[in-house]
Amino acid sequence: MAEVTPKSLAGKRIVITRSAAQSEVLARELSARGAIPVVIPLVSFADPEDFAPFDAALAEIEGFDWMILTSAQAVRAVVKRGEELKRSLVRSESKPRIACVGPVTGETARQAGFQVEYVAETHSGAGLAGELGNRLQGSKIFLPRSDRANPDLPSALSRYGAEVTEVIAYRTLRPSAVDERHLRQIAEGSTDAVLFFSPSAVQHFGELLGSEEFRALQDKLAIAAVGPVTANALRGAGVRRPVISADTTAAAVVEALEEHFAGTMKQASAGAKRQ
């Protein structure tokens, strides 16, 4: 592991591919270390095309043993729909118990008033199912998710004997407008790193830039994945060695970038000495 120095991120231009609201804490952490955060949202969200399954599940919320929340957006979608239906979902009773896929989702749920019982250590849906394991046997699970969510989680939950009610709580879309100037800057290599937080963002970036140009970027800048699922999506897009933050917190993302750039600084220094 490279020794991290306070200057590892100084002057580095770091692109964050999600909304400004979602990026606020991370952008602040990067700026504090001298980096230049650039927010280019590559994912937007919309309501489900049909609310009926979502509403039906919310009407029977007390009948579920667990509600599993896989993203901060899922938390927001559940809270928003509950408010629209004038139904309080924050309950003092023990059911449904709340499990979250990672610390960011867990914190968002707590801020919304939910009593979070479990946060996955591995920060993936399948990992969460494995960690809960036999506790899921015979339980009824409410799973509100994106229309483009990974199918691994409901399958894993079912293997542990759970009865899963999966509903589309929101749709994941490509933004209608993306800053072309910033995209050109990335393609030209005038950016030092691009951070991806979901497979959808990876897909949208490839569509906008072109798959060949996307793959070529890895020789110009750091391509970073937040979480193992996004890392797999990057590998599928042809990125051989993504920088990976296993944890979804801002501190962990910054640490992964610091280690990467500290390593490149060390290599550059060693190369200069050999000349």
Q: Does domain 13-43+176-274 have CATH number 3.40.50.10090?
A: yes
Token representation of residue 242: 């993504």
Summarised one tens digit per residue, pLDDT across range 208-239 is 999 999 999 999 999 999 988 899 999 999 99
pLDDT at 5 over 60: no
CATH code for the part of the protein at 53-172: 3.40.50.10090
Overall average pLDDT of the 43-72 stretch: 96
Residue boundaries of the structural domains of the chain: 13-43+176-274, 53-172
- SS3 sequence, the chain? CCCCCCCCCCCCEEEECCCHHHHHHHHHHHHHCCCEEEECCCCEEECCCCCHHHHHHHHCHHHCCEEEECCHHHHHHHHHHHHHCCCCCCCCCCCCEEEECCHHHHHHHHHCCCCEEEECCCCCHHHHHHHHHHHHCCCEEEEEEECCCCCHHHHHHHHCCCEEEEEEEEEEECCCCCCHHHHHHHHCCCCCEEEECCHHHHHHHHHHHCHHHHHHHCCCCEEEEECHHHHHHHHHCCCCCCEEECCCCHHHHHHHHHHHHHHHHHHHHHHHHHC
The predicted pLDDT at position 265 comes to 53
Token representation of residue 102: 């990672």
- The two domains 13-43+176-274 and 53-172 share their CATH topology (first three levels equal): yes
Overall average pLDDT of the 190-215 stretch: 94
Summarised one tens digit per residue, pLDDT across range 99-149 is 999 888 999 999 999 999 999 988 788 889 999 999 999 999 999 999 999
The pTM score is 0.84
